Structure 1
């Protein structure tokens, strides 16, 4: 699954259907920025809109994921429902990966905050103590942000 070839394929099929990005987005109930990101290969369509996207573009899910039209007599090992379920699982795993990274950042930040008072005494070590405190606080904040975003995305998923 190559995001760039899939994006190029979406753009080509959209143009063949005489649709603008805004029109396609309106049909799907999403923003035109999302369609633009797909077509530039920056991200993949969410599994919740894949079926409708394929219907609008007149393609199958396997063609969407392959980024090219398949020969109709070509035998696929998976049907559309199975491919949609795999895409949903991939997107859930990506969300879980971000949650794990967030938790690791929070733990690392707390460790840095804990270590910072132990370093001190001279002007150079005071500098490092202050730097560890600030880095630790920053890492914790980034971790909390990622965890919050991941939890929000989990709650919003259909």
Structure 2
């Protein structure tokens, strides 16, 4: 079992697994506002803000569109990709 799988077993929720603080960096890197991301995904701007502060998570079906919008992979959203965001 690799380290990532071991880490997954220790997480209590998907919120802890997703590195959504990285989402904010990716959003800004792409010169997008929370409102623009929200409009593209059909959610409220407050939902995007909550994702970025890890209060809630996006629905699974939104992840491919979110990754496309932020020009990254779903793995990047989970902190598993090689995308450099800092």
TM-score if structure 1 supplies the norm length? 0.40
Q: Distance in 2 between matches of 1:43 and 1:3?
A: 10
* Partner residue, 1:135: none
* Partner residue, 2:32: 19
Q: Distance in 2 between matches of 1:69 and 1:20?
A: 23
TM-score if structure 2 supplies the norm length? 0.71
Q: Distance in 2 between matches of 1:49 and 1:16?
A: 20
Q: Distance in 2 between matches of 1:65 and 1:27?
A: 20
Matched positions, count: 70
How large is the RMSD of aligned CA atoms in angstroms? 2.1
> What are structure 1's unaligned runs of at least 5 residues?
72-158
Higher relative contact order, structure no. (Cα contacts within 8 Å, ≥ 6 residues apart): 2
Q: Larger Rg: 1 or 2?
A: 1
CA shift digits 1:42-77 (9 cap, x unpaired): 1221111110000000111111112x6426xxxxxx
3-state SS of 1:42 partner: coil
* Partner residue, 2:10: none
Q: Distance in 1 between matches of 2:18 and 2:63?
A: 16
Q: 1:31 to 1:2 in 2, by over 3 A?
A: closer
The answer to whether the 8 Å contact 2:51/2:58 transfers is yes
Q: Distance in 1 between matches of 2:35 and 2:60?
A: 20
Q: CA deviation at 1:3?
A: 4.0
